[in-house]
Amino acid sequence: MQPSVVSNVDDPALVEMRRSQFVKAAGELFARKGYHKTTIREITQGAGLSTGLIYSYVRSKEDVLFLVLENVLTSYLHEIPLALENADGPVERFCATVRAYCRVIGDKPHATLLAYRETKSLNPEYQAVIKRMELETNRLIIDRIEECLAAGYFRPVNIELLTYRIVLLAHGWALKAWRLQQFVTLEDYIEEGLDLFLNALMTPAGWSHYQQPERRTGTK
């Protein structure tokens, strides 16, 4: 991994610690007020440190935004795979991943919103890094789909497109949570969404191997 954001300070543990302080404060402020309306002073004050110090750990305000977004994406990359630990078959693993993705986003929808809103405020290089990380996250889903296809449990599909449909299922909650929350819980939103996909995707072989959970809406 490239040392995308450079620091004046040598001690890596200190760098790590200070950055996480700034990123935490900045994340909250950016989510609430937006990147441009947040000042460096607010960030450093929020972190309980002095104004100038942040420039020992970051070259510019833009770096801070990048670190915040990188942080969000990295957490996805770390947390989603944990869901596979207790999942057995290919379909179960697919479902577990979708649920994990949705829950991770449902857990901090503001972070995802922030990514949608402010990624464009980054320079092209940083944007590219963020996009690359999104693609890495997508891979978590793609791999599950391919497992299901390999097992003959899913019909042939455009894998990339299906992946994005699932990404949009997850992100959709963050994007429209302000309204969706009024008439559905996150868990119901997930299950109904999964149901939709499984019904369209699963082969008979798939169904026979898949232990469906109780609640199902559009059974065939």
> Which residues bind to DNA, rule: CB under 7 A?
8-11, 14, 18, 37-41, 49-53, 55-56, 59-62
Phi, psi of 2 (to 5 degrees): -75, 145
Question: Which of DNA, a second copy, none has residue 61 at its interface (CB below 5 to 8 Å by kind)?
Answer: DNA
Question: Minimum distance between the CB of residue 193 and DNA, rounded to whole angstroms?
Answer: 39
- Say how many CA atoms lie within 13 Å of 32 toward its Cβ: 10
**Coil, helix or strand for 177?**
helix
Question: Which of DNA, a second copy, none has residue 168 at its interface (CB below 5 to 8 Å by kind)?
Answer: a second copy
Question: Minimum distance between the CB of residue 21 and DNA, rounded to whole angstroms?
Answer: 9
Question: Which of a second copy, DNA, none has residue 171 at its interface (CB below 5 to 8 Å by kind)?
Answer: a second copy
State which residue, 62 or 92, has the beta carbon closest to a second copy: 62
Question: Minimum distance between the CB of residue 208 and DNA, rounded to whole angstroms?
Answer: 59
State which residue, 63 or 118, has the beta carbon closest to a second copy: 118
Q: What angle do CA 98, 89, 214 make, to 5 degrees?
A: 65
State which residue, 182 or 211, has the beta carbon closest to a second copy: 182
Question: Minimum distance between the CB of residue 110 and DNA, rounded to whole angstroms?
Answer: 20
Contact 80, 104 (CB under 8 A): yes
State which residue, 86 or 182, has the beta carbon closest to a second copy: 182
State which residue, 61 or 171, has the beta carbon closest to DNA: 61
Q: What angle do CA 29, 69, 97 make, to 5 degrees?
A: 120
Residue by residue, what is the 3-state secondary structure of 112-164?
A: HHHHHHHHHHCCHHHHHHHHHHHHHHHHHHHHHHHHHHHCCCECCCCHHHHHH
Q: How far is CA 47 from CA 19, 21, 41, in A?
A: 10, 5, 10
